[in-house]
Structure 1
């Protein structure tokens, strides 16, 4: 998701960009335990901007020493950078290398989080308590906090940070690419490959088949809705696939459920374009850029109130497409109402597409520039105080 944004940043007249990768995971094929398959993205990730790979002496795991890139120190100390924007989280050693090098070099240091709640994915309460103590201290280290959504901004505000300490840099995708690719799609051909009639209504689930994504909620609601000539398509892979397939058989709807498996980036526009409604019933979802992607393809999205993107992207145009997390009856009613009028769904999709006009790389880059300017101004003011 970052690569198209980095290309846009590299083209901006006010930005001289140098990207330092602590890992090239995703460029090369790597087993993804959440997808339960090897993943290698099939779109260009390294074209169009200056980048370098910093050798990692860490383990490559998710542990603190999974990313440990000592050469970041030399790069930042010698680079004369005005600002260092860090996307490596504070739970990695490389974050602290970059932070200390920035402090000693006089570069402003910007970072943030995509979290919209203190609650972790594993629901362990002690982590919430620890975050309440640590996060105000950790995020106060940023010369400016970058927040990708309104919900993250609200979270930072709840931790005591003032508005002028935060800058919104919208969590974005390459809107133009998604829209252009989807415009080339032949829905009839795509649906035929799914063995779905052109005049059927298609509900899409596009995510990892993992418990916290709650695909089972959608399956149950789809079955209960009882919409004739409607199909449910799962685009994604994960450990719940067999369970979902068996449950579809038990519910008597297996003939109207399709499992596409892992769908790579270049094929996703066709999937979104060929669906009438995407549903994301997640229990834990900091943002969900699949909402951006589907919206850019003209596919409306319904999502649980735990999905971070609902506040910025769904509620402003389709507020009745936000439902309470875990409420299968509410989702059932939503499906019954939404799928009863295909023309209305098309209109909703156009509303979603229009919303994306002001949630793009343009707004993200403007936010980054604003964040850097604020950080530099604040830092210079501090240095001027005797």
Structure 2
């Protein structure tokens, strides 16, 4: 007798480069029969990214290797990042006219389309799974009144899920603090396509990349790779780099955003223009060369639910330093082994880390190797197997 296959509908806001490899893996899984429904095709098609401030289309295939459909968006002002920016009325009929075992909503409850699919799943008595990448209740704009509303509202929202999906150990703690029963929460590791990153990084020629950057081969390179937005705190990295003033060190900013002009002016005022490089937006296929050619990656964010750039850097053998607001620290950072965690906003502490690490290339190499080894058990394989467990539990719970 053939093994039962669960028919799953994944509802996703738009093609996400991190999720696509998982869909491909699920499409081959013996227990899963999946369909991905997109509410927007931004990312696979060119579109303005409001946070980068430029038009973006990822240069890797996002719509190959798994079954998907696009449901027209009836929003009068279609866009991501706005509750009424996604209104995909076709979700109602899709759910109600198909015998799915479970619906997995990756849209997030901050979109109208999420509530359409949640209502449809409930009326059909289908198992409903959704969750969050958050590890705390703080908001990007640091508004305390929003935190108070979340404390009251989120337990009610997550109680709608048969299984709540979280992406880190920090997420497990958050659900516990909200009173969500442990048996209704599943950790599915937040991952990237590990093998792709490893394969691509192994092909990188550091000498060529550094020549393109106009950086000496013997130099030690600090990397900031993120959108140049206030909550990412790129200013902290520049200030700490200047304060540390380690001989033979360089700082590379890979990313675009509204703070770029300010950062370039600050680097000039600090007389660091020759040692601080701005690469602008770097598309996905070129990112392995960025990480591989750096010696230390820094993510200083004050708001970072997870931070999969940490995964990417570690897979490329680059040690990491992150603030204590970065969700990836819970599962990926073993202090002084795979990376270092410091208090967010503490420029002096970050400068001290740079002064300690940058002159010690042997230590940086050891940490980079340990970071690479850590990622062997934080991969798409663990993510999909955890999701299968969540599906099985949700179907039983619904029954």
The Cα RMSD (Å) is 1.1
SS at match of 1:254: coil
Q: 2:106 aligns with which of 65, 76, 87?
A: 87
Question: For residues 157 and 139 of structure 1, what CA distance do their matches in structure 2 show?
Answer: 12
Question: For residues 42 and 320 of structure 1, what CA distance do their matches in structure 2 show?
Answer: 30
SS at match of 1:43: coil
Structure having the higher helix fraction is: 1
Q: 2:326 aligns with which of 287, 304, 307?
A: 307
Counterpart for residue 4 of structure 1: 21
Question: For residues 39 and 184 of structure 1, what CA distance do their matches in structure 2 show?
Answer: 25
1:60 matched to 2:71? The reply is no
SS at match of 2:65: coil
Q: After the TM superposition, which of the residue ranges 54-63 and 151-160 deviates more from structure 2?
A: 54-63
Moved over 4 A (4+): none
Q: 1:352 aligns with which of 371, 394, 399?
A: 371
Instruction: Tell whether the 8 Å contact from 2:125 to 2:398 is kept in structure 1 after alignment.
Output: no
Counterpart for residue 15 of structure 1: 32
Q: TM-score, normalised by structure 2?
A: 0.93
Counterpart for residue 67 of structure 2: 50
TM-superposed CA distance for 1:161, in Å, is 1.3
Counterpart for residue 51 of structure 2: 34
**Structure 1 residues 186 and 308, CA gap change in structure 2 (3 angstroms):** same
Question: For residues 343 and 47 of structure 1, what CA distance do their matches in structure 2 show?
Answer: 41
TM-superposed CA distance for 1:104, in Å, is 2.0
Q: 1:239 aligns with which of 258, 263, 267?
A: 258
TM-superposed CA distance for 1:116, in Å, is 1.3
SS at match of 1:18: strand
Q: TM-score, normalised by structure 1?
A: 0.97
Instruction: Tell whether the 8 Å contact from 2:335 to 2:341 is kept in structure 1 after alignment.
Output: no
Question: For residues 233 and 244 of structure 2, what CA distance do their matches in structure 1 show?
Answer: 17
TM-superposed CA distance for 1:66, in Å, is 1.1
1:218 matched to 2:198? The reply is no
Count of residues paired in the alignment: 380
Question: For residues 316 and 303 of structure 1, what CA distance do their matches in structure 2 show?
Answer: 10
Deviation track 1:283-327 (CA, whole Å, cap 9, x = no partner) reads 111100000011111111100000110111113673761000000
Instruction: Tell whether the 8 Å contact from 1:28 to 1:40 is kept in structure 2 after alignment.
Output: yes
Question: For residues 346 and 319 of structure 1, what CA distance do their matches in structure 2 show?
Answer: 10
Map 1:197-212 onto structure 2 (within 5 A).
Answer: 197-212=216-231
TM-superposed CA distance for 1:64, in Å, is 2.3
Counterpart for residue 370 of structure 1: 389
SS at match of 1:190: helix
**Structure 1 residues 359 and 313, CA gap change in structure 2 (3 angstroms):** same
Instruction: Tell whether the 8 Å contact from 2:332 to 2:338 is kept in structure 1 after alignment.
Output: no
Instruction: Tell whether the 8 Å contact from 1:317 to 1:355 is kept in structure 2 after alignment.
Output: no
Question: For residues 54 and 319 of structure 1, what CA distance do their matches in structure 2 show?
Answer: 42
TM-superposed CA distance for 1:216, in Å, is 0.6
TM-superposed CA distance for 1:282, in Å, is 0.7
Return 5+ residue gaps in structure 2 as ranges. 1-17
Instruction: Tell whether the 8 Å contact from 2:164 to 2:184 is kept in structure 1 after alignment.
Output: yes
**Structure 1 residues 55 and 165, CA gap change in structure 2 (3 angstroms):** same
Question: For residues 318 and 121 of structure 1, what CA distance do their matches in structure 2 show?
Answer: 29
TM-superposed CA distance for 1:344, in Å, is 1.3
Question: For residues 20 and 285 of structure 1, what CA distance do their matches in structure 2 show?
Answer: 27
Question: For residues 369 and 190 of structure 2, what CA distance do their matches in structure 1 show?
Answer: 20
1:100 matched to 2:123? The reply is no
1:116 matched to 2:122? The reply is no
Instruction: Tell whether the 8 Å contact from 1:317 to 1:351 is kept in structure 2 after alignment.
Output: no
Counterpart for residue 167 of structure 2: 148
Q: After the TM superposition, which of the residue ranges 134-143 and 55-64 deviates more from structure 2?
A: 55-64
Question: For residues 191 and 348 of structure 1, what CA distance do their matches in structure 2 show?
Answer: 21
Question: For residues 89 and 162 of structure 1, what CA distance do their matches in structure 2 show?
Answer: 20
Counterpart for residue 354 of structure 2: 335
